[in-house]
Amino acid sequence: MNALGFLRSRLWLVTLSALIALFVVNWILQPNLVTPNVLKSNLSVFLPVILVAIGQTYVVLGGDIDLSVGSIVALVNVVTVSVIAALGGGVGGVLGGIAAGLVVGVACGLLNGALVALLRFQAIVTTFATGIIFGGLALLVLPTAGLPVPAEYWRTYGSSPLGLPVVLWVLLAALLIVALIAGRPFIKHLAAAGGLRTAAFQTGLKLAQIRILAYALCGLFAAFASLSLTGETASGDPLMGRTLALASISAVVLGGTALAGGSGSAFGSVLGALVLGMIGNVIFFAGLPFDYQTLIQGLITLLALAGGVLVARRN
């Protein structure tokens, strides 16, 4: 096998190299990068995209897409803060709010999955529409930003149990879930469903169930992202997470997952999300206007897509 072929099956290696290069550039521009506090605040900023991108990976791997993740993040946020407020705060209220948020996230995913896999609506249009619906619901639940969460919530999120910050624990927990999912037959079935749906069907796989589960996982990870963001902002915001849908898809593509489905990994998407975050850092510390970040993010996604198409043509 030649070098190109080797890289072709390990696209995440390219992403990893890019990440290391960006990290070095960032370090040069920002000499205090490698200090616990700066690393922690960086991770706090990157974490929501990482979590949403992990969830998005499963949907994309199965040959679908979820454009509604940003609105799911907003809806989970407003439901969580509202339930906490309704329960009167306190530890019990916070736990109740988190549980409600997770349920809402999974429910949104199940709805998307049912529309796409059972009613056979087109994924891209369906989730675009449900995204609008979820966003509308978020505004209905909490019309304006505000409604702070109790101190127990954001203090815990900012703390460092066992010497490591909570944001790192969340990332480790997410990676553990990724590893658990990667070790189960489900991931093979999902890749088959996204790879060649007719073949997966002929083989007798339960396609609808597989695709719905992928959307539910996506909703769950969007809820995780929302809860992390809530720990950061400490209040409700019905317009939260607007950029997350496109950022997560960029991260998934950068992480080596084929947008057509069938190949890729959530681990790669984590690298992709980190690359996106580091690009933002580099732009900031290089003194460029922040607006350039979305421009460059778009260009890089386009490049990654073009690379994927070129690879596919060579095959």
Nearer to another protein, 253 or 278 (CB): 253
> Taking CA 138 as the corner, what is the angle to CA 132 and CA 140, rounded to the nearest 5 degrees?
105
| Rounded Cα gap, residues 256 and 245, in angstroms | 17
Task: DSSP for 60-82, please give it.
Answer: HHTT---TTHHHHHHHHHHHHHH
In this complex, which beta carbon is closest to another protein, that of residue 37 or of residue 202? 202
Structure token pair of residue 49? 């995209």
By C-beta, is 32 or 198 nearer to another protein?
Answer: 198
Binding-site ranges for another protein (CB under 8 A): 9, 183-185, 188-189, 191-192, 195-196, 198-200, 202-205, 258, 262-263, 315
- Find the shortest distance in angstroms from Cβ 267 to another protein: 16
Strands 235-236 and 146-148, bridge-based pairing: antiparallel
Please tell me the distance from the alpha carbon of residue 69 to that of residue 46, in angstroms, as a whole number.
16
Contacts of 104 (CB under 8 A, 6+ apart): 72, 75, 76, 79, 223
Q: Is the dihedral of CA 111, 113, 118, 119 positive or negative?
A: positive
End-to-end CA distance of the chain: 13
Q: Least distance (Å) from another protein to the CB of residue 120? A: 19
Write the single-letter amino acid at 106: V
Q: Which is nearer to another protein, 105 or 195 (CB)?
A: 195
HSE at residue 140, side-chain half, CA atoms within 13 A, is 7
User: Smaller CB distance to another protein: residue 149 or 191?
Assistant: 191
* 85/305 with CB nearer another protein: 305
Q: From the CB of residue 161, how many other CB atoms can be counted at a distance below 10 Å?
A: 9
Between 40 and 197, CB nearer to another protein? 197
Beta bridge partners of 285: none
H or E segment and range at residue 55? helix 36-61
